Amino acid sequence: MAIQTIGIVGAGQMGNGIAHVCALAGYEVTLTDVSQDALDRARATISRNIDRQVERGKVEPADRDAAMSRVGSTLTLTDLGQSDLIIEAATERESVKQAIFEDLVPHLKRETILTSNTSSISITRLASRTDRPEKFMGFHFMNPVPVMQLVELIRGIATDDETFDACKSVVDRLGKQAATAEDFPAFIVNRILMPMINEAVYTLYEGVGTVRSIDMSMKLGANHPMGPLALADFIGLDTCLAIMNVLHDGLADTKYRPCPLLTKYVEAGWLGRKTKRGFYDYRGEGDPVPTR
């Protein structure tokens, strides 16, 4: 099927980034969230980020205006029912995602494709709670969406070829690259990335290095653009912990046991950049200061 309209559930960091790239690619986008403030912030963020692209000569002013005109919003989840493609980008909790799909299903067109931007949860299991497992798949964007070139496409056990091809065509139109992943916990990127971040937290927890020395070592010693602890703060420590729990529960291997220090930070509400404190404290005017 030819996809022209895209509904996006969740107006947070991932949702507004997905809306941004889809609108620039010519899709009509409807963004939904439970909070009007979140929708307003998302629109302001999209506008600001496209303006930055215009300043850098990557987007023409006319294309910016056209893209912004294609971004709509609603507080009513079921308004997305007539979309050709729905991308769920809500919080990384399976119960939340299941509730969203159960609410949506009675209002969908017969041909609507359902997808989840989940970074770790079973696509097959999410699909089983809908009326269209053959038209359901994982559509995992990387953060920040406008910058990162990869999209993981994950087929559930029932996903049909037509659905995969339609989603692959969207990735192509966005100018991004698709990596096909099998439906196993955390797929490809997070199956490799999150244990590395978790090991960096263990390295801090066991006193092998400080926050600064660990991040400096990986930046200068492994040529990573960002240290693992700074990256964890950028992703969100709650998201990192959720993915490690999925890996640990799904693969039953002790090497995926979340570091107790990661759990402690999440319990404290120190989730990284979004709460102004994580492995670094972002509340000051200057450079972030390590919290350990």
Per domain, the residue ranges of the chain are 5-182, 190-290
- Tell whether residue 82 is among the known ligand binding residues: no
Strand partners, 28: 5
* Helix then strand then coil, % of the chain, to nearest 5: 50, 15, 35
**Distances 238 to 56, 87, 103, 189 between C-alpha atoms, Å:** 33, 21, 25, 17
For residue 270, give both structure tokens. 């120190």
Question: Is 176 one of the annotated binding-site residues?
Answer: no
Active site includes 119? yes
User: Which residue in 20, 116, 152, 198 is the catalytic one?
Assistant: 152
Determine whether 152 is an active site residue: yes
Q: Where are the alpha helices (DSSP H) in the chain?
A: 13-24, 36-55, 61-69, 94-104, 123-127, 161-173, 189-205, 211-221, 228-235, 237-251, 260-268
Candidates 117, 120, 190, 198; catalytic one:
190
What pTM was estimated for this model as a whole?
Answer: 0.90
Q: Which ranges of 83-154 does DSSP label H, i.e. alpha helix? A: 94-104, 123-127
Q: Give yes or no for a contact between 136 and 156, defined as CB atoms under 8 angstroms apart.
A: yes
The annotation status of 97 as a binding-site residue, yes or no, is yes
Which among 81, 67, 142 has a CA at the least distance from the CA of 112?
A: 81
Asked whether residue 206 carries a pLDDT value surpassing 80, the answer given is yes
Q: 57-66 burial by CB neighbour count: b if 16+ within 10 A, else e?
A: eebeeebbee
255 is known to lie in a ligand binding site: no
Asked if the domains at 5-182 and 190-290 fall in one CATH topology, the answer is no
Q: Which two tokens stand for residue 250?
A: 């799904």
CATH superfamily ID and name for 5-182: NAD(P)-binding Rossmann-like Domain (3.40.50.720)
Query: Over 90: is that where the pLDDT of 92 sits?
Result: no
Residue 210's pLDDT band (cuts 50, 70, 90) = very high
| Residues above pLDDT 90, as percent of the chain | 96
The CA distance from 196 to 235, in Å, is: 14
User: Of 16, 83, 119, 198, which residue is the catalytic one?
Assistant: 119
223 is known to lie in a ligand binding site: no
Q: In the structure, what pLDDT confidence band is assigned to residue 194 with cuts at 50, 70 and 90? A: very high
Q: Which of 16, 73, 116, 140 is catalytic?
A: 140
> What's domain 190-290's superfamily in CATH?
N-(1-d-carboxylethyl)-l-norvaline Dehydrogenase; domain 2 (1.10.1040.10)
Examine the residue annotation and report whether 117 is marked as an active-site residue of this protein: no
Residue-averaged pLDDT of the chain: 96
